[in-house]
Amino acid sequence: MMTNSRTLNALIGAIVTFGLSFTVVSPVIGGAVAAWLGAGDKFDSQQVGALSGLIAVLPIVLVVVLISVTGLGGFSAAFVLVLFSIGFLVAFFSILGAAGGYLGWYLLKDSRIPGQRA
């Protein structure tokens, strides 16, 4: 399986997100890093930022699913809580990652030398 630069940049952004997970804005920073490395247009930068957020949320989703499957929470409310938690986490990380992708594109756009090609 071959990975393209978009996937690699999203993976690097996810690692940054995971490493800075002690902050609330870590998906924004990870998405910005992924977009900065990608040097694409605005739409591509938002996509790679959102992908970075989705990759970063996978370990958290796995922990939530593992807790619900092992029965550490109450069984009656566990299913609804797991679905809500997974939906919220995926939306939170992907939306903030896309916002970070836009921020990374904006910062990269402003740092270019006039006349330089993208």
Mean pLDDT for 77-82 is 70
- 20, 82, 96 from 61: Cα distances, Å: 17, 9, 17
Q: Which residues lie below 8 Å from residue 14, measured CB to CB, with a gap of 6+?
A: 30, 34, 52, 53, 55, 56
Mean pLDDT for 63-82 is 68
pTM for this structure? Answer: 0.75
**Comparison of pLDDT for 2 and 108, the residue scoring more:** 108
